[in-house]
Amino acid sequence: MKQPEEIMTVDDVAAYLHVHPSTVYKMMKHKQLPGFRIGADWRFHRANILGWIKRKEEAAIVKSN
């Protein structure tokens, strides 16, 4: 069964960010990514990941100015 595109798995987020899944787990451990648990598995709302990326980009621009 295919999951709705709005919800992403750790592997989906890792592929989207071009990082290893273990990096996503480390970021979750340090509360650096917006996600939630379903049982033992992490899930992510695509809109929250996109918002997180935008905030990171904006912070980088502010730092460089």
pTM, two decimals, is 0.84
Tokens of 19: 């990082």
Sheet with 7-9: strands ordered across: 7-9, 41-45, 36-38
Q: Which domains does the chain have, with CATH numbers?
A: 7-64 (1.10.1660)
Q: Check residue 2 and give its pLDDT.
A: 54
pLDDT number for residue 62 = 85
Per-residue pLDDT tens digits for 3-24: 557 999 999 999 999 999 999 9
Tens digit of pLDDT for each residue in 13-56? 999 999 999 999 999 999 999 999 999 999 999 999 999 999 99
